[in-house]
Structure 1
Amino acid sequence: MARTALVTGGTRGIGLAISKRLKADGFKVAAGYAGNEEAAQSCAKELGIVIVKGNVGNFDDCVRAVKEVEDQLGPIDVLVNNAGITRDSMLHKMTPQQWNDVIYVNLASIFNMSRQVIEGMRERSYGRIINISSINGQKGQMGQTNYSAAKAGVIGFTKALAQESAAKGITVNAVAPGYIDTEMMSAVPQNVLDKIVAGIPVGRLGRAEEIAACVAFLAREDAAFITGATVTANGGQYFAG
């Protein structure tokens, strides 16, 4: 019987690529989204998957969203915590709102969503939780103290929950993408983009499908011996120690 996967932020960018790949690999897929109705409906129509709207930074929204998915598809076997936002600013100009928005959506969401599925995974002695971090959570980035802190926190969360869950057949891993050719990057001025690409040894931006391939591998049943790991997918731009 096909396993069920839920991908937060799963209707655009990297999340959409993950949803596509998991559907192609035979999963029953649900994709979460926050507000872009057009993209969500397009995703649902194109892939034939369930979509669920909600704010991953709000615990009660996550309770409702997971229940909706499980009512339609059954217990969640694979959770991909992909949803994220940026609110870039130098710290001396950053507002509390910019800080809190990013921490809640990018980090608190990992708890909010994982908490909904972890008990069921433990009861069934099976689960895959895959958290999307970032190269900037590994090396830091000027103008992103909020984002870098959140994405570094994702890695710490991953390592801790992996230890808690290993004996129950649950793996918990992170994927840390580098700079990926998505809608977000298209807004970067060309001169800045050229500098970014110049710093990537493979000489190009990554593709969303390449991140999806990393997630798909970690979601497999035969990836059971890999847990607490962070897969860096950044074209050689940064090697975590």
Structure 2
Amino acid sequence: MRLNGRTALVTGAAGGIGAAISRHLARAGAQVALADLDGDAARKLAGELADTTGSRVAGYAMDVSVSGVVADVVGAIETDLGGVDILVNNAGIDRIERFVESTEPTWQKIVAVNYLGTVIVTRAILDGMIERRFGRIINIGSDAGRVGSSGEVVYSGTKGAVIAFAKALARETATKGITVNTVCPGPTDTALLEQVAQAGQGRFDALSKAVPMKRIGTPDDVAPAVTFFASDEAAYITGQTLSVSGGLTMS
């Protein structure tokens, strides 16, 4: 699966799943814009990927929940790398706690980043995709959005919203050369999973044992699914939700 000549934007790109996705897209030949709240980390990783993959890679500071900032960054990417052909809405946050112990400021932030951030960034790049009659939009959801997850009630709600958003947008853009799909990681070795371990080692161990493959996933397990949806081989696939969970959820 080669992505030569394509420009990709990955949000939340500086670490974890976002960094792995960025690396896989660059290895496939895409030019990659790494956008992250931590602009310094994004620029540092961009330099490393440019050296190791040979692709053009650039890093940008971006808060996905602020539409003005998003518009400015998208404009800079278009100047530096060209119009965005592939968008990976990966930026997300969570806080592991029981819903009855959570507070409204936490809810507001999770919704603003996970759901509204996805909407804002998608809207910022969509006109260009429609004009060029080509686009690949891949949202990073979560199995929590498909089946729910204790201690992640609002997070689960936002990821369910991301899945529904992708399906509806896929219907609206299906005749415009644009596909919209969602990749839902299961338990994956990221900073978020560290919160689970901190909340209770027993829960973390039980989660590992519940996965039929008997291991926690890695960011590099998730990234190939994104690369596939970004490729020409997936041109006739849209509105789909793919779980990458080692078999933890099956449907």
User: Same fold by TM-score, threshold 0.5 exceeded?
Assistant: yes
> Which residue number in structure 2 is paired with residue 21 of structure 1?
24
Tell me, yes or no, if the aligned pair for 1:79 and 1:129 is still in contact at 8 Å. Answer: yes
How many aligned residue pairs are there?
A: 239
| 169-178 vs 142-151, greater mean Cα deviation | 142-151
Q: Is 1:147 the counterpart of 2:155 in the alignment?
A: yes
2:5 is aligned, of 2, 5, 21, to: 2
> Which residue number in structure 1 is paired with residue 186 of structure 2?
178
The Cα of 1:2 is off from its aligned counterpart by 1.1
> Which residue number in structure 2 is paired with residue 220 of structure 1?
231
Q: Give SS of 1:86's match.
A: coil
> Which residue number in structure 2 is paired with residue 12 of structure 1?
15
For 1:185 and 1:111, locate their aligned partners in 2 and report how far apart those are by CA, in whole Å.
25
- The alignment-based identity, stated in percent, is 40
Alignment of 1:80-99 (within 5 A): 80-99=88-107
Q: Which amino acid aligns with 1:228?
A: G
Q: What runs of 5+ residues in structure 2 fail to find an aligned partner?
A: 51-56
Distance 1:158 1:7, change over 3 A: same
For 1:83 and 1:34, locate their aligned partners in 2 and report how far apart those are by CA, in whole Å.
9
Q: Which amino acid aligns with 2:38?
A: G
| 201-210 vs 190-199, greater mean Cα deviation | 190-199
CA-to-partner distance for each residue in 1:129-182, whole Å, 9 max, x for gaps? 000000101111112121000000000000000000010010000000001122
Q: Give SS of 1:172's match.
A: strand
Q: Give SS of 1:130's match.
A: strand
The Cα of 1:88 is off from its aligned counterpart by 2.9
The Cα of 1:35 is off from its aligned counterpart by 2.4
What stretches of structure 1 move > 4 A for 4+ residues in a row? none
Q: Is 1:129 the counterpart of 2:137 in the alignment?
A: yes
The Cα of 1:36 is off from its aligned counterpart by 6.4
Normalised by the length of structure 2, the TM-score is 0.92
The Cα of 1:41 is off from its aligned counterpart by 3.6
For 2:194 and 2:97, locate their aligned partners in 1 and report how far apart those are by CA, in whole Å.
19
Q: Give SS of 2:97's match.
A: coil
Q: What runs of 5+ residues in structure 1 fail to find an aligned partner?
A: none
Q: Is 1:102 the counterpart of 2:110 in the alignment?
A: yes
Q: Is 1:195 the counterpart of 2:206 in the alignment?
A: yes
Q: Is 1:42 the counterpart of 2:44 in the alignment?
A: yes
For 1:43 and 1:205, locate their aligned partners in 2 and report how far apart those are by CA, in whole Å.
24
The Cα of 1:222 is off from its aligned counterpart by 2.4
For 1:3 and 1:10, locate their aligned partners in 2 and report how far apart those are by CA, in whole Å.
17
For 1:161 and 1:41, locate their aligned partners in 2 and report how far apart those are by CA, in whole Å.
31
Q: Give SS of 1:180's match.
A: coil
Tell me, yes or no, if the aligned pair for 2:34 and 2:43 is still in contact at 8 Å. Answer: no
CA-to-partner distance for each residue in 1:182-210, whole Å, 9 max, x for gaps? 23324514433211101100000111111
Q: Is 1:169 the counterpart of 2:169 in the alignment?
A: no
Root-mean-square deviation (CA, aligned residues, Å) is: 1.3
Tell me, yes or no, if the aligned pair for 2:35 and 2:59 is still in contact at 8 Å. Answer: yes
